Amino acid sequence: MAYTTTDLLAAIKRRAQLPAANGALSDADLLDLATLAMRTQVQPLLRSLREDYSVVVQRQAIVADRRTYPIPSRAEGGAVRDLWMVRIAEPQTEVRVPYIPPEDRPMYQSVRSQWWDGIGAYTVEGNDIWLSPIPSGVEAQYTLSIRYYLRPGRFVPTSDCMEVISWSAGPTTVVTVDTVGSYTTSSRVDIIGGAPPFRPRAIDIGLDGVSTGPDQLTIIPADYEGFIEDGTTGDYVCETDTTCVVTCPVEAQEALIAATVASVYEVLGYERELSVAVAMRDTAMQAVRVLMEPRTEGASRVLLDPRSPLRRGRRSSW
């Protein structure tokens, strides 16, 4: 079951002893504070513990004789984790494109890759990926696969999003939702997984069709670079760069609540309550470190032959 912003608001109000309605801070204010806590406190903690948790893959079509390609706007810090060339035809194969410093780019301007007459390396300048040499002759066979850290979407009320009732996958995917609301074919949406680990299914995609009776959305996944995987019942469709699903591991949800409560007390000027809330936040953050810190467990034992000199403590004669 999805942990939505409805659940998050209820937890924040209960923990901070705020009224259900007509308080000094509206639900929109609380969600803005929760978004800030997610982006500035919880997300950096998750990056330090589970670096690949927020990594997503987005594809961009290769255009002949075009050198620069924009970094996805949702990339955290405008950074690229790595870049791959993906063969479109079956069987699909992937080859990682090496990164080079910008000052080394002239060395690769005329150098061809050992795998194909195309891309040998890439560099980053500003918000663009620069390919070296200029791709030529590979646009029909390959596509760029960009892996990057996804910036968490802004928290919005559950009523602003559509819950997926059924998902019919295919060349043309039909998604039945509880209500299409004000969404149209000009809308851009994200599809967020409703079950742990609450990962995005699609990022910033358009809708090919919107119909009512029943309420359905039509999507052609092959047409969209932001489509990651098929969704399922219980997922949510949200306006792009927003989410009604709390997109963090279950183990980090308590830390998000505690961090938001501390921000609430700070905004309201409750100094005595703030000191207690900060201590609770730090405790919750430490719990996340304990639960999610990378470890090596269950390593297999090294077995030695009983006749080995190492087992008997004797040195080898050679």
pLDDT tens digits for 18-35?
A: 988 878 899 999 999 999
Residue 181 lies in a domain: yes
pTM, two decimal places: 0.85
- pLDDT, residue 118, reads 59
Residues 157 and 46 in one domain: yes
Q: 81 and 190 share a domain? A: no
Residue where a domain terminates, one of 195, 220, 243:
243
- Same-domain check for residues 25 and 108: no
Which pLDDT belongs to residue 313?
55
Give the end of a domain, one of 149, 170, 186: 149
Q: What is the pLDDT of residue 232?
A: 94
Q: Does residue 270 belong to any structural domain of this protein?
A: no
Domain presence at residue 266? no
State whether 209 and 134 are in the same domain.
no
Contact 167/232 with Cβ under 8 angstroms? yes
Residue 114 has pLDDT above 50, yes or no: no
Domain count, the chain: 2
Give a yes or no: residue 259 inside a domain: no
Do residues 171 and 201 both lie within one domain? yes
Instruction: Identify the residue with better confidence: 62 or 259.
Output: 259
Instruction: Confirm whether 317 is domain-assigned.
Output: no
Give the pLDDT confidence score for residue 50 in this predicted structure: 86
134 and 79 within one domain: yes
Would residue 17 count as lying in a domain?
yes
The pLDDT mean for the chain works out to 87
One domain, residues 22 and 77: no
Please, is 31 exposed, middle or buried when counting C-beta atoms within 10 Å of its C-beta (0-12, 13-18, 19+)? Answer: buried
Q: 70 and 193 in one domain?
A: no
| 72 and 38 within one domain | no
Residue 86 included in any domain: yes
Domain shared by 108 and 220, yes or no: no
Which residues span the domain enclosing 128?
55-149
In this structure, the answer to whether residues 134 and 196 fall within a common structural domain is no
Rounded mean pLDDT, 259-274: 95
Asked whether the predicted pLDDT for residue 112 surpasses 60, the reply is: no
User: Of 149, 171, 200, which one is at a domain's C-terminal end?
Assistant: 149
The reply to whether 157 and 142 lie within a common domain is no
